[in-house]
Structure 1
Amino acid sequence: MAEADPWLTIIGIGEDGPDGLSAASRAALAAAETVIGAPRHLALLGPVAAGERLAWPVPFADGLALLRARRGRRVAMLASGDPFWFGAGSRVVRMLDPGEWIAHPGPSSFALAAARLGWPLETTECLGLHAAPLTRLRPLLAPGRHLLLLLRDGAAVPAVAAYLAAQGFGDSLLHALEALGGPRERIRHGHAAAAALEWSDCAHPVALGVAVAGAGSTLPLVTGREDGWFAQDGQLTKAPVRALTLAALAPRAGERLWDIGAGSGSVAIEWLLAHPSTEAIGFEADPARAARAADTAARLGVDRLQLVTGVAPACLAEAPVPDAVFVGGGLTDALLAALVARCRPCTRLVANAVTLETEALLTAWHAARGGRLLRIDLAEAAPLGGRRGWKPRYPIVQWSGLL
Structure 2
Amino acid sequence: MNPAPAAPRPDVTVVGIGADGWGGLADTARGVLAGAEVIVGGARQLALLPAECGGERLAWPTPLRPAVPGLIEAHLGRRIAVLASGDPMFYGIGRTLTEVLGAPPRVLPHPSSLSYACARLGWPVEETEVVTLVGRPSARLAAVLHEGRRVLVLSADARTPAEVAALLCDRGFGPSRMRVLEQLGSERETVVEGSVEGSAERWDAAPGDALNVVAVECRRAPGALRLGAVPGLPDSAYEHDGQLTKRHVRAATLGALAPAPGETLWDIGGGSGSIAVEWMRTHPSCRAVSVERDPVRAERIGRNAERLGVPGLKVVTGAAPGVLAQLDCPQAVFIGGGLTAPGLLDACWEALAPGGRLVANTVTLESEALLAEWYRRHGGELVRLAVAHAVPVGGFTGWRQAMPVTQWAVVKPGPPPSPGSVNTPSGAAT
2:260 pairs with one of 246, 252, 256:
252
SS of 2:355's partner is coil
Does structure 2 conserve the Cα–Cα contact (< 8 Å) formed by 1:351 and 1:398?
A: yes
Q: Which moved more, 1:164-173 or 1:355-364?
A: 164-173
Aligned ranges 1:128-167 → 2 under 5 Å: 128-167=132-171
More deviation in 317-326 or 68-77? 68-77
What number of residue pairs does the alignment pair up?
400
What CA deviation, in whole Å up to 9, does each residue of 1:194-217 have, x standing for no partner? 432333231121111111124143
- CA displacement 1:215-248 (0-9 Å, x = unmatched): 1433211211111111111111111111111111
Match of 1:368 among 362, 377, 383: 377
Counterpart selection for 2:62 from 58, 65, 77: 58
Q: Partner of 1:94 in structure 2?
A: 99
Q: TM-score, normalised by structure 2?
A: 0.89
* C-alpha distance in structure 2 between counterparts of 1:337 and 1:37, whole Å: 50
- Which of 141, 146, 168 is the matching residue for 2:172? 168
The aligned residue for residue 212 of structure 1 is: 218
Segment drifting more, 136-145 vs 242-251: 136-145
- Residue 344 of structure 1: aligned partner: 353
Task: Say which of 189, 201, 205 aligns to 1:185.
Answer: 189
- Correspondent of 1:225 among 207, 219, 233: 233
SS across alignment from 2:97: helix
Tell me if structure 1 keeps the 8 A contact 2:330–2:351: no
Structure 1 residues 335-363: Cα deviation after superposition (integer angstroms, max 9, x where no partner): 21222333323321111121111111111
CA contact (8 A) 2:10 2:76 kept: no
Indicate how the Cα distance of structure 1 residues 19 and 298 shifts in structure 2: closer, same or farther if over 3 A, else same.
same
Name the CA distance, whole Å, in 2 between partners of 1:362 and 1:62.
Answer: 46
CA distance in 2 between counterparts of 1:195 and 1:383 reads 45
Shift of 1:256: 1.1
Aligned residue for 1:46, secondary structure, equals: coil
Give the % identical residues. 46
TM-score, normalised via structure 1 length: 0.95
After superposition, the Cα gap between the structure-2 partners of 1:23 and 1:98, relative to the gap in structure 1 and judged at 3 Å, is same
Following superposition, which runs of at least 4 residues in structure 1 exceed 4 angstroms of deviation? 3-6
1:12–1:78: 8 Å Cα contact kept in structure 2? yes
Select which of 24, 28, 32 maps to 1:28.
Answer: 32
- For 2:197 and 2:257, how far apart are their aligned partners in 1? 41
Greater shift, 112-121 or 205-214, is seen at 205-214
| d(CA) in 2 for partners of 1:72, 1:259 | 49
Task: Tell me, in whole angstroms, the C-alpha distance in 1 between the residues paired with 2:409 and 2:298.
Answer: 25
Letter in 2 for 1:77: V
In the other structure, the counterpart of 1:316 is 324
**Per-residue deviation, 1:6:** 5.3
Is it true that 1:263 corresponds to 2:267 in the alignment? no
Q: Could you tell me which residue of structure 1 aligns to residue 250 of structure 2?
A: 242
Distance 1:5 1:49, change over 3 A: farther
Deviation, structure 1 residue 137: 1.2
**Corresponding position of 1:77:** 82
Deviations 1:258-291 (A, max 9, x none): 1111111101111111111111111111111111
Contact kept in structure 2, 1:42 and 1:55, CA below 8 Å? yes
In structure 2, give the amino acid aligned to 1:92.
L
SS of 2:319's equivalent in the other structure is: coil
Hey, what's the Cα distance between the residues in 1 that align with 2:66 and 2:202?
Answer: 37
Deviating more after overlay: 53-62 vs 247-256: 53-62
Aligned to 1:272: 280
2:393 matches 1:384: yes
1:5 Cα shift? 7.0
The answer to whether the 8 Å contact 1:174/1:191 transfers is: yes
**C-alpha RMSD of the superposition:** 1.8
Letter in 2 for 1:397: T
1:297 to 294, 305, 319: 305
> 1:208, 1:340 → 2: CA distance?
45
Alignment partner, residue 410 of structure 2: 401
Query: Does residue 68 of structure 2 align to residue 68 of structure 1?
Result: no
User: What are the Cα deviations for residues 91-134 of structure 1, in whole angstroms up to 9, with x where unaligned?
Assistant: 222111327x2111101011011111111111011121112222
Give the Cα–Cα distance (whole angstroms) in 1 for the partners of residues 309 and 207 of structure 2: 27
Alignment of 1:198 with 2:202, yes or no, is yes
Alpha-carbon distance in structure 2 between the residues aligned to 1:5 and 1:383: 75
SS of the equivalent of 1:283 reads strand
Contact 2:40-2:80 within 8 A present in 1 as well: yes
Higher mean alpha-carbon deviation, 223-232 vs 157-166, is at 157-166
Amino acid at match of 2:268: I
Q: Distance in 2 between matches of 1:166 and 1:262?
A: 25
Q: 1:218 to 1:378 in 2, by over 3 A?
A: closer
